[in-house]
Amino acid sequence: MVCETINHMVSVSDLLPVEAIRLDVAAEDWRAAIGAAGELLVATGSSTDAYTAEMIRTVVDGGPYIVVAPGFAFAHARPSPAVLRTGMSWVRLARPVEFGHETNDPVDLVVALAATDASAHTEAMASLARLLADPDTGRALRAAPTPAAVHALLAGERPPPPREPGPAAGTAGATGPAGEAAPAAGPAVHKILTVCGNGLGTSLFLKNTLEQVLDRWGWSRYVTVEATDTISAKGKASEAVAILTSREIAKALGDVGVPVKVVDDFTSTAEADQVLRDTYDV
């Protein structure tokens, strides 16, 4: 096994080489789509075929919660011996496929993550969430003609301006609850848990989206967001004011003694804004 130690801030482009990007891939169903992303992880030395099977098993066991935004699936599994080093792959499908998600199907983009632990890729996930939430960058990524063009955008190249100016999709309504006081700090700040099956993939997308909204509200010093897995969330629920997660994970959690709120688009600051307003009744 290849060991790694990452002491510097890791970006999406660091983890996702051009060789791990494929466009207009033919896939007959969601299993084949994840399989194509897994093949790229194997080809670039991030994982073995066993990890691809583990990513597919994650969906079989937990449902399509990895479809974190309309048309976008974030395939991953827990760190395991099948992961050789932290890395990512990017597959844009020639034709969208159904994952069985109630609101975000069909999927035309599958990004896969193989992680050696739960921390090395955190900043990369934050960056990817911001890129996909930005309407101009999201549009440019989906229209990019070559893997090199995708990689350049992920590395920070500015996308071309939109043809017609308009309100930024996914960001409207996230300017903060004007006139509302922040929650009382008390002896400890409030905590919100974002939850997924493994605690290192989709929950990080939602965590970073929530943190963007809290920053805009000026509430970041009063409310912290922690990404965790389903099992740990049950033990930590008493520490939180609310749990935010997917529909599938919410069903798996059941009654944990605090409000469990469903978020459909983990990259939408507008939806995160609304859920936070509902949580704090502002």
The pLDDT mean for the chain works out to: 85
Helix (H) or strand (E) holding 210: helix 202-217
Q: Which residue has the higher pLDDT, 252 or 178?
A: 252
Residue 175 lies in a domain: no
Pair 19, 83 in one domain: yes
Output the domain CATH number for residue 270.
Answer: 3.40.50.2300
Can you give the residue range of the structural domain that contains 237? 190-280
Pair 50, 105 in one domain: yes
Determine the average pLDDT of the residues in 66-75.
94
Q: What is the number of domains present in the chain?
A: 2
Pair 204, 276 in one domain: yes
Residue 169 lies in a domain: no
End-to-end, the C-alpha distance of the chain in Å comes to 51
Cβ distance 215 to 247 under 8 Å?
no
Rounded Cα distance, 150 and 155, in Å = 9
Pair 95, 206 in one domain: no
Pair 150, 24 in one domain: yes
Q: What is the tens place of the pLDDT at every residue in 110-168?
A: 999 998 876 666 777 777 888 887 888 888 998 999 999 999 999 877 666 555 544 44
pLDDT for position 193: 95
DSSP 8-state class, residue 185: -
Rounded Cα distance, 191 and 208, in Å = 14
Residue 233 lies in a domain: yes
Residue 174 lies in a domain: no
Pair 133, 196 in one domain: no
- Name which of 158, 31, 49 is nearest 93 in CA terms: 31
Residue 185 lies in a domain: no
pLDDT for position 202: 83
Residue 190: active-site member: no
Out of 8, 76, 121, 190, pick the active-site residue: 76
Q: What is the tens place of the pLDDT at every residue in 190-241?
A: 999 999 876 667 888 899 899 989 999 999 999 999 998 888 999 999 999 9
